[in-house]
Amino acid sequence: MFLRYSIIEVSTDTGLKGYAECCPLGSAYLPSYAKGVRTGIAEIAPKLIGENPLEISRINLLMDKLLKGHPYVKAPIDIACWDLLGKDCNKPIHSLMGGKAQNDIDLYRAISQEKPNEMIKKVQTYNNEGYTKFQLKVGGNADEDIERIISTREALSSDNILIADANTGWKKHDALRVVNAISNKNVYIEQPCASYDECTAIRNKTSLPFILDEVIDNSNMLIKAISENAMDIINLKITKVGGLTKARNIRDICIEAGIPMTIEDTWGSDITTATIAQLAITTPKDFCFSATDFNSYVTVSVAENAPKRVQGKMKPSNLPGLGILPNFDILG
């Protein structure tokens, strides 16, 4: 895991330090990869030295001029600047973003793709831990996926939420078979195919609630999808879109358009979880479909004071900035 993610520190001449975490999920999931974070930061960081990190909008404009694209590279710098701004103001990030819009954040649990009976066991275990929202990883063999979805849905109570997340894995003909086979089930369909056009083709052939994730990677794409009624919900991955500044902009467009969100990221641990919690708590509950506590998925804690899951929910720290302190005994 330590080879796959990066934690950055932005230092200031006043002694304040800001932190952020970025963890691309391999090199074939999104147009990002672990070494790209470090080489990209090495490209732009020397030209940021001497800038005021509290002028976050200016920092984002400068990063976009220095490096075309690669939002995941810029995201940890943006997040670290927000951490610094909070520490400079002695306020948590959520206070700087307008304050808490809900008391706590509903979490979902992702269930890795396995045999149906194994997935059911895991869902039941996590249900007992307080989770009520589940993201079932599918996108493999269509017949097996149909069995996974139906059997897991039957194992849950009617008020539990089940999302069948193909992570772009189905071809259109398989996606169509699946949505037809489960058309009478209480299931959400998430990102069935690789491209936006393929997904909208499936969207137009099912009445099941529809979630887009990987193809919603900036505000322009979001506006297009809203105008074409392409989804009911989006997954908002913070580093995918470039950090907290751009994620907040996408969040606000979604609220204006009536689109709920799962607020999350590609992967990470304590610092990523703290970042998610700071943005999610400022999102009205009706629009915060769920969020992710990535530090429940890993075995090593890299920061103190990170949010912890309690009965399927979490809250952000009220300490300044992200509210975390990196554990340098672990990080080195």
- Of 74, 237, 240, 313, catalytic: 237
The DSSP call for residue 92 is B
Kindly report the CA angle at 86 between 80 and 88, in degrees rounded to 5? Answer: 100
- Of 87, 137, 246, 313, catalytic: 137
- Interatomic CA distance for residues 57 and 82, integer angstroms: 11
Identify whether 172 is a catalytic site residue: no
Label residue 326 exposed, middle or buried (CB < 10 Å: 0-12, 13-18, 19+): middle
- Interatomic CA distance for residues 64 and 290, integer angstroms: 30
Beta-carbon contacts of 217 under 8 Å, excluding residues fewer than 6 positions away, are: 30, 71, 240, 241
Both structure tokens of 178: 């699946």
Helix H or strand E encompassing 256:
helix 244-257
CA 133 vs. chain centroid, Å, equals 15
- Interatomic CA distance for residues 243 and 64, integer angstroms: 12
Kindly report the CA angle at 188 between 187 and 192, in degrees rounded to 5? Answer: 120
Helix H or strand E encompassing 236:
strand 233-237
- Interatomic CA distance for residues 95 and 92, integer angstroms: 6
Checking DSSP bridges between strand 6-11 and strand 17-22, what pairing results, if any? antiparallel
- Interatomic CA distance for residues 192 and 304, integer angstroms: 37
State the SS3 of 69-81. Answer: CCHHHHHHHHHHH
- Interatomic CA distance for residues 105 and 284, integer angstroms: 10
Identify whether 137 is a catalytic site residue: yes
Tell me which residues are annotated as active site: 137, 237
